[in-house]
Amino acid sequence: MPATFIHLSDIHFGQEKNGGLVKINDDAKECLLDDAATEIAKLGGNASGIIVTGDIAYSAKRDEYAKAGEWLDRLAARVGCDRLDVQMVPGNHDIDRAAITNVAKFHLDTIRDQGDPMLDMLLDDEMQREALYQRFAAYRDFSGGYGCDLDVGGEYSADGAVALAPGRTLRFVRLNSALICSHKDTEGRLILGARQRVFDAINGEEMIVLVHHPLSWLQDSQEAARYLGSRARVIISGHEHFPSLEIKSIEDGCDLMMLAAGATAPDHVNEDFTYKYNILTFDWDEATDGLAVAVNPRTWNFEMKRFEKDLPFLEGKDERSVLRSPYFRRGAPPAKVEEAAAEARPQVQPVVNPITGSKEVDLSMPDDARLARLRFFRDLSEERRLSILIELGAIPEDLTDRLDHTIEQRFFAKLIAKGRVTELSKAIDVAIEEQKKGDAA
């Protein structure tokens, strides 16, 4: 069964500097909700989820993510997917530049100059590692609510798999290309690092890589391209605000699709750079045992002030492409499935996350626990989360040290493991109401 996703990039919540631009951008985002709902309805079902390839916020502030969360919830409701089914990676605007101290800047500059050895040295030191990730504090809360945790060991992360047919699965792999972003970044100077470049391939499974920066922004782009080309089938990126689509023949029987997104909310809107998003449909092509990818590019009609299919982008390109997929072919032959038993839409299912930083969190947790996680980390301030953890006895009352994100996840996971989801949910309800009253005061 085909799996359809709404693909957004560079949404930039909080970029507006005046009320007029807020009004214009809000109007475009409302039109996007309507357009996405209409296009999904034409397909005769619901979306399987939402993909965001970075720059959710503009200055990486908590209030920007709060607005993004409210809008993503509305988008999920309009296209018929669960609001938990969002895959995301960070972009350069998901870094709080105010948190880049002189020491942090020195370390980031040194990593750029010395490459993997310096990056590995900092990642292996617990204190230096946490200082490196402090720039992502608000993003980590937001993405952690969705289960899209950043790995503080510098590795890749994956937590979503979609079965297209029995024995034929997609797995989303998330890379953090913003790992060493600083105040101003230069193309060709960022680094993924060896820990993100290397990931295992599984027979019967093809991988969709989500990353904010195109590979040209990386120092280690050539080595990254070798790993990604041999083990992934699609790379989806953002950042440059100009969409592109290329299918490369890696070797006989192996293709790689490179899809770069336009900006959902660009810095400046004109006839050249305007609001864009994609509707992506993945399916198993039985005839070739390959991965079929259909791209419906949506763009803002500058004159009519509405979204429509981006025909200039599609010129000379097929809307549906079948990629030669070696890992599908290496899997066992797909079992036959009765049509009546097939789901209306494939759902994203949690898989074992390889990253060290999230092993304490059970990614297979039931929906009520996943919803509690979303509301706890995404919707509550750090102070109110701490209050709940103390109230429920998850941490000592006399704790004075600031919790880092990873330790906070462990305390949260312990409450879930002890079967205290109902208590936790009630405490979250109260805290959210108190927070709303405080914000309104």
In this structure, what are the phi and psi dihedrals at residue 379, rounded to the nearest 5 degrees?
-100, -10
Question: Distance between CA atoms of 161 and 28, rounded to whole angstroms?
Answer: 31
Q: Which of the listed residues 293, 311, 341 is the one where a domain comes to its end?
A: 341
User: What is the structure's pLDDT at 150?
Assistant: 85
Where residue 115 falls (left for φ over 0; alpha for ψ -120 to 50; beta otherwise) is: left
Whether residue 240 lies inside any domain: the answer is yes
Residue ranges in the chain modelled with pLDDT below 50 = 340-342, 354-363
Let me know whether 279 and 398 are in one domain. no
**pLDDT for res 2:** 93
* 191 torsion bin: left (phi>0), alpha (psi -120 to 50), beta (else): beta
Is 137 a member of any domain? yes
Does residue 45 belong to any structural domain of this protein? Answer: yes
pTM assigned to the model: 0.92
Does residue 316 sit within a domain? yes
**Per the structure, how many domains does the chain have?**
2
* CA 428/CA 424 separation, integer angstroms: 6
Tell me: do 311 and 396 sit in the same domain: no
Bridging pattern class, strands 290-301 and 306-309: antiparallel
- Domain span at residue 90 reads 3-341
Burial class (CB in 10 A: 0-12, 13-18, 19+), 433: exposed
Q: Are residues 410 and 312 in the same domain?
A: no
* DSSP H or E segment with residue 28: helix 19-42
Same domain, 79 and 196: yes
Regarding whether 323 and 209 lie in a shared domain, the answer is yes
The confidence score (pLDDT) of residue 341 equals: 43
Specify the pLDDT at position 29: 97
Cα distance between residue 115 and residue 194, in whole Å: 10
pLDDT in tens, 304-363: 999 999 999 999 899 999 999 999 999 998 876 555 444 567 877 766 554 334 433 444
Q: What is the pLDDT of residues 19-41, one digit of tens each?
A: 888 999 999 999 999 999 999 99
β-strand partners of 248: 256
User: What is the residue-wise DSSP string for 241-273?
Assistant: S--EEEEEEEETTEEEEEEEPPPSS-SS-SSSS
Q: Is residue 346 assigned to a domain? A: no
CATH number at 115 reads 3.60.21.10
Give the pLDDT score at 362.
47
Residue 350 maps to a domain? no
